[in-house]
Amino acid sequence: MKNTLLAGLFLLTSYSFYAQRAVNQYDVIKTAQEWKATLSDLEFYILREQGTERPFTSPLLKIKQKGTYVCKACKTPLFKSEHKFDSGTGWPSFDREIKGNVGYGVDYKAGYARSEEYCLKCGGHLGHVFTDGPKNTTGLRHCINGAALAFIPDTK
Ligand SMILES: [Zn+2]
């Protein structure tokens, strides 16, 4: 009985996870094949298959310049350099997103509920948000896969 209940719950939660990420809600819609043509294997795995890169592997971790972090897939601005901080986790971390460009859902891939973040324009998976961020600002840690982002330095 308990197992049936758990299986039912699992089905329900996975259904709602995928249901809220229905493809037709996005401005940028491409087939898996079209995405594969423009993204590397790692980028595709993260952005389109909700994967996670290995920690401490992103070249973006070292960037201290001023600029904007955009979606690797559709170039939508997602995070500003002034909101980036060194969380020590091995993933690029921000205390806030650029409002209106990042969507939130719930993902149970780790076996428990995590708040997933994705690009609102193309639906690309970015990472997760946790509540152990800097207490002196938002308290939030947006834990983002570097491979899901591209950095555009400020020009002036
Ligand atoms: Zn995007």
Q: What pLDDT is attached to residue 110?
A: 84
Domain enclosing residue 48, as ranges: 2-153
Distance (angstroms) between ligand 1 centre and the Cα of 4 equals 38
DSSP strand pairing (114-119 vs 77-80):
unpaired
Domain count, the chain: 1
CATH number of the domain encompassing residue 86: 2.170.150.20
Mean pLDDT, the chain, integer:
89
* Residues 105-141 pLDDT 10s: 998 888 999 999 999 999 999 999 999 999 999 999 9
Contact 146, 60 (CB under 8 A): yes
Q: Model's pTM, two decimal places? A: 0.84
**Average pLDDT estimate for 42-53:** 97
Catalytic residues: 143
Distance (angstroms) between ligand 1 centre and the Cα of 11 equals 28
Q: What pLDDT is attached to residue 109?
A: 84
Distance (angstroms) between ligand 1 centre and the Cα of 79 equals 12
With CA atoms as reference, report the closest residue to 71 among 153, 154, 144, 143.
144
